[in-house]
Structure 1
Amino acid sequence: MKKEKIVALSLISLASVALLAACGSKSATQKNIQFSIPTDIDTLDSTIVTDQYSYDVIGNVEEGATRVNPKGDAALALAKSIKVSPDGLTYTITLKPNLKWSNGDKLTAKDFVYSWQRAVNPKTGSEYAYLMGAVANANDITAGKKSVDTLGIKANSATQFTVTLAQPTPYFKFLLSEPVYYPLDQKVVEKYGKQFGTTSDKMVYDGPFEFKSTKSWTGTNKTFSIYANPDYYDKSAVKSKEIDFQVISNANTGAQLYKQKKLDFTLLPTTDLIEANKGEKGFTVFKQARTDYIEYNQSGKNASSADAQKALANQDIREALNLATNRKAIIQTALPDSTPATSFTPVGMSKTSSGEDFADYAKQDYTYDAAKAKELWEKGLKETGLSKVTLSLEAATDLAASKVTANYLQTSYESTLPGLTINLKLVPFQQRLKDAQNGTFDMVLSGWGGDYAEPSTFLQLFTAGQSYNDGKFSSKTYDSAFKAATTTPDVLSQAKTDADYKTLEDTLYKGSYINPVDFQANPALMNPDVKGLQFHSTGLAYDLKTAYLK
């Protein structure tokens, strides 16, 4: 394992910033932080969580061996020490002593073994099991080729376990901070079965905060609270006794509640709200490592019609749609402070061996060209024997920016591409996730936020058979380049790895397999009296462990 690569990853990983660093110990007695999220959370089960908003809650009530700190490093959390073998394949993880779950159960190495085996078990259906692919035999287990007990993790004692990797993975300590790598209390999971994590009382917690019976999450309620966990090993660092959450899907309502001092944090997802609040005290812009993009159903099934399936299987038609996407206009209309996407991997997340931003190094020619789009569209229609086609475009109606973007695209596509009709399908965010996962769409406006600061967190999504490859396209060139970047001995040469990753971006662009729209920014209003909140561009976006109201 090359030392310079480890250092580089350590310096840039999860480019995060500690906002208004915590100070003072009396803050916990002050008014509770009132924190809003735009959609309902879906689960508290760290193994099956898929959306950012559920993750924002889970990451504050649960924890793994590592936790990303204010400097952006994967710092020790439940782990007391992590020793890595010279070849980078073996990790010996020793836990802190006397760890407990919120129900009083001891937290041991076996809880990690159980959780990781549960994650890769095909019966669990974890869509984030792919993140376990770094661990030996994980991919074969998820494919049903090996039993779960062959996974490369073994408990040596109550406080120590050994992990064997499939290949050297320089960012593995960051993976340990991800929910799918969190431990689980087997007794509690088996007690509740399929109901585990569906409400806050069907859970136990090991993080800075916990749920209680008061102000709990019932699975559907719009307001709930988390409380400082008295059994947390680092409880002295937790500055708030209670943090209150509100689900506010109407962004205008959120802004008004902020101005009435009834909210301390709310997102501003629309142009009008951003312009109206730029002078407001507490206006800020959070730069996430996140890309919004359009996926095309290339599976050959579940599309809205046979004509839609035929059209989206045609590369010229997909390229025409990409060229007809006016990214600058979309940002002006719906996504101020975001930037037009020039690759799938976003800017500001990771650097190449030469120190260049990877997104700049792998930049593609995603441009708006209405004339060429029309030309390719007509060529594609001729090739498919179609004279006109109707395509559905699905987006989340409870995410204001997505709704506005979809409306803009409907008008723009229909005016640019003759014979095209766009039927908008506006559904709640959770339904959009389900439809994408089930492949029941023609085109869907999706988004992906990085889990760690390395291109594979984005580019592994589109390997053949990957659960997040919703469009179900397959490219041997893509799969070969990804394998070369992540599993061959050359993985220890970052320059070679950079080149392989760039091949992946080239392949996505040349095949028009997806349509990157923007690198997302999140304008928000945050009470200047909120101190110690840590924002991370990847992984857990809003870490509330040290947050408090001054």
Structure 2
Amino acid sequence: MQLRRCLPRPYFPVISLISITLLLLAGCSGSNTATAGNNTASSSSKSTPASKQVLTFPNVGTTDIGFLDPAQGPDANSLLAVNMLFSGLVRSDINLNIVPDQATWQISPDGKTYTFTLKPDISFSDGTHVTAQTYIYTWTRALLPATNSPVANFFEGAIAGANDVSSGKARTLAGVKALDDHTLQVSLIKPTPYFLEELANPIFFPLNQQVIEQYGTKNWTQHAAGAAIGTGPWMIKDWDHNVKMVLVPNPHYYGAKSKLTEINMTFVNDKSTAFKAYRAGQYDFVWNLDASDQPAAKSMPGFIRKPLLQTDLLFFDNTKPPFNNTAMRQAFAYATDRNTLVHSIFKDTVMPAPTIIPPGMPGYQPNYAGLPYNPSKAKALLLSVYPDVTKVPTITFSYPSSQVSPDEASALQQMWQSALGIQVKMRSVELTAYNDETLKHQVQFGFTQWGADFPDPFDWLALNLSSTAPNNNGEWHNQDFDKLIAQAEKETGDARLALYNQAEQIAISDVGWLPIDHQAIAAVIPTWVHGVTLNGNGLYFGDWSEVYLLQR
């Protein structure tokens, strides 16, 4: 998921703090070698564009694009393609500010009505015009039961009539109206300070109704190559599944035109494989470097590392033994040595995470210790449930192979064996298949990563751990947590954040999620790759007209 920021509303002082904190963290998170993407005023501006403008880079950590339909809540790897193909009312800049894209807006004094004025020249890649009605179709479609979106009701829940559409009671989204072809009015059920930030999520980006109706709401993405599916700067020329995606400029894009003539995005599941291929000259840059490769990468021109607004966490199936017992979940929390993981496995490229919400986010609790490593307490909790350890049911830890290295998996297994005296089976799964298993609640004990969609604790806690949250992979339920979330959404400012702090502490102590580390991301982006860098979201391209290759 992606972090977004809002415009100068009452929320703005908090957002300013986010930018400052990210900058401070960047200075503490290791080497930050300047690249063409974040130092374009130096030698890059004096260089000459290369004669061949074909950018080749790996989409690291996946075997394919898992979700191209924005309504399905694309994973981080899929979002790389989604954000190239689609665009919307707003977008985020490199500093995570919300800025206009397809529209400008006005907000009513009560904060419940947003009126957007669309640019007149917005079209899909076949020239089909985008109007206010296009947005109404897209937002309504995401909520319809037939679309089966796992995230639409949470992202659109503040819009009047959203629950009626998602429940099947209505097929018209009452809170969204086309005042004319270029004026979209949105009515909310309550003031929502992060609404503009939500609009930067691709679920709100306009979709081509003709393409969806031609191929069907479930299958249209399989016909994306050559089809006019989005309004973004790129369109798909060819999609060789499990190999690569080839993109070319959208001839009807409303923004500045790209100097690039083509992009080859190859799918590479293993991080070290991608790094080796870069060193062999197969890619123009490489990103999402494994911790084991970063010592070698640090000596290479263009190395850069930035903190992410992302946390690695573990979750448990709360519906059946042994993890329907809080003491068992707490036993695993106390048996997990975060500091050893960070130092020995990640080589201090990430931060230990006693909290769910990471540094740089509103609601972060820097002085909260969570459930620290304590093997004696871990064993005592286990024995309180299973005095005879041989009676503990078989426990299998499943994890995506592209996100958990063999070394990390082995270290976790050894920690649990040492502290608890039980052997946990380890099961590595390809990312797309793993995501499918978690959606179907087939994982007994698993791993997840969460990166913020927008800088608000609602996105971390309500969206993932509320009893009715679609992302509640472990089906964890806590009435006190739910009550605090509901109460927080009736408050504003510090009072609201204080309630979220209490809710997070419940989620940690009751082990709705077990936070492991707050992530960073590293890349090697040589100076002859102009306009590409990293930010708190990860790989950042920004204005594609400024992304091009220079003569070497």
**Normalising by structure 1, what TM-score?**
0.88
Counterpart of 1:137?
161
C-alpha separation in 1, matches of 2:98 and 2:385: 48
The answer to whether structure 1 residue 504 and structure 2 residue 503 are counterparts is yes
Alignment partner, residue 306 of structure 1: none
Out of 465, 469, 478, the residue aligned to residue 466 of structure 1 is 469
The answer on 1:43 being equivalent to 2:67 is yes
Deviation per CA, 1:186-222, whole angstroms, max 9, x where unpaired? 111111112111243255221122222xxx114x141
Cα distance in 2 for partners of 1:35, 1:415 equals 42
Q: What residue number does 1:318 align with?
A: 329
Mapped contact 2:134–2:206 kept (Cα < 8 A): yes
In the alignment, what sits opposite 1:431?
Answer: 433
Partner residue of 2:384?
379
**Other structure's SS at 2:496 match:** helix
What's the CA shift string for 1:83-116, capped at 9, x where partnerless? 1000100000110012111011111111110110
Match of 1:228 in 2: 249
The 1:158–1:26 alpha-carbon spacing in structure 2 relative to 1, beyond 3 Å, is farther
**Cα distance between partner residues in 2 of 1:9 and 1:449:** 18
Paired amino acid for 1:374: K
Residues 287 and 522 in structure 2, CA contact (< 8 A), matched pair in contact too: yes
- Aligned positions of 1:269-308 closer than 5 A: 269-298=289-318, 300=319
Q: Name the counterpart of 2:412.
A: 409
3-state SS of 2:424 partner = strand
- Alignment-mate amino acid for residue 156 of structure 1: L
**Which among 329, 336, 344 is matched to residue 356 of structure 2?**
344
Match of 2:107 in 1: 84
> Residue 39 of structure 2 aligns with which residue?
20
Residues 541/394 of structure 1: CA separation in 2 closer, same or farther (3 Å cut): farther
TM superposition shift of 1:422: 0.9
CA separation of 1:167/1:28 partners in 2, compared to 1, >3 Å: closer, same or farther?
A: farther
Matched-pair contact (CA < 8 Å) for 1:534–1:543: no
Structure 1 counterpart of 2:38, which letter? L
Q: Do 1:89 and 1:165's aligned partners in 2 also have CA atoms closer than 8 Å?
A: yes
Q: Note the residue ranges of structure 2 that are not aligned, 5 or more in a row.
A: 1-5, 27-36
- Of the three residues 182, 202, 205, the one matched with 1:182 is 205
- Structure 1 residues 133 and 386 mapped into 2: Cα distance closer, same or farther (>3 Å)? farther
State the Cα distance separating 1:544 from its structure 2 match.
Answer: 6.3
| Conservation of the 8 A alpha-carbon contact between 1:319 and 1:512 | yes
Following superposition, the deviation at residue 372 of structure 1 comes to 1.0
Letter in 2 for 1:71: N
Q: Deviation at 1:156?
A: 1.3
1:200 to 224, 239, 251: 224
TM-score by length of structure 2 reads 0.88
Partner secondary structure for residue 501 of structure 2: helix
Alignment match, 1:305: none
Deviations 1:44-69 (A, max 9, x none): 21221420111111111210100112
Give distance in 1, aligned partners of 2:219 and 2:48: 38
Q: Contact (CA 8 Å) 1:271, 1:332: kept in 2 or not?
A: no
Instruction: Please name the residue that 2:29 is paired with.
Output: none
Decide whether the 8 Å contact of 1:534 with 1:544 is kept in 2: no
Superposition pairs of residues 161-180 of structure 1, within 5 angstroms = 161-180=184-203
Question: 1:8 maps to what in 2?
Answer: 13
List aligned pairs for 1:29-40, cutoff 5 A: 29-38=51-60, 39=62, 40=64
| Partner SS, residue 169 of structure 1 | coil
Q: Secondary structure at the match of 1:286?
A: strand
Task: Establish whether residue 513 from structure 1 lines up as the match of residue 521 from structure 2.
Answer: no
Whether the 8 Å CA contact 2:278–2:285 is kept in 1: the answer is yes
Residues in 1 aligned to 2:407 and 2:145: alpha-carbon distance in whole angstroms: 38
Give the distance between the partners of 1:465 and 1:84, measured in 2 at CA.
30
189-198 vs 331-340, which deviates more? 331-340
User: Shift of residue 524 of structure 1?
Assistant: 2.0
Asked if the contact 1:59–1:540 (Cα under 8 Å) also holds between the matched residues in 2, the reply is no
Distance (whole Å) between structure 1 residues aligned to residue 299 and residue 68 of structure 2:
37
* Separation of aligned partners in 2, 1:63 and 1:324: 44
Gaps of 5+ in 1: 301-308, 352-357
CA contact (8 A) 2:125 2:231 kept: yes
Aligned-partner Cα distance in 2 for 1:72–1:467: 26
- Could you say what secondary structure the match of 2:365 adopts? helix
Q: CA deviation at 1:29?
A: 4.7
Cα contact 2:397–2:444 (8 A) shared by 1: yes
Whether 2:287 is the aligned partner of 1:267: answer yes
The answer as to whether partners of 1:394 and 1:441 remain within 8 angstroms in 2 is yes
Inter-partner Cα distance in structure 2 for 1:100 and 1:511? 49
Tell me, in whole angstroms, the C-alpha distance in 2 between the residues paired with 1:159 and 1:4.
24
1:406 and 1:544 mapped to 2: Cα distance? Answer: 38
Q: For 2:477, what is the secondary structure of its paired residue?
A: coil
Any residues of structure 2 matched to 1:520-535 within 5 Å, and which? 520-533=519-532, 535=534
CA distance in 2, matches of 1:530, 1:151: 47
Q: Quickly say closer, same or farther: Cα 1:89–1:390, change in 2 above 3 A.
A: same
Structure 1 runs of 4+ with >6 Å offset: 1-4
SS of the equivalent of 2:379 reads helix
Mark the CA change 1:178 to 1:56 in structure 2 (over 3 Å): closer, same or farther. Answer: same
Q: Which amino acid aligns with 1:440?
A: Q
Residue from 115, 118, 142 that aligns with 1:119: 142
TM-aligned CA deviation for residue 2 of structure 1:
12
- Superposition deviation, residue 5 in structure 1: 3.0
1:328 maps onto 2:339 in alignment: yes
Q: Residue in 2 aligned with 1:355?
A: none
Note if contact 1:90-1:163 (Cα within 8 Å) is conserved in structure 2: yes
Match of 2:483 among 480, 483, 491: 480
Question: Which residue of structure 2 lines up, in the alignment, with residue 441 of structure 1?
Answer: 443
Q: Distance in 2 between matches of 1:3 and 1:234?
A: 24
Query: AA paired with 2:425?
Result: N
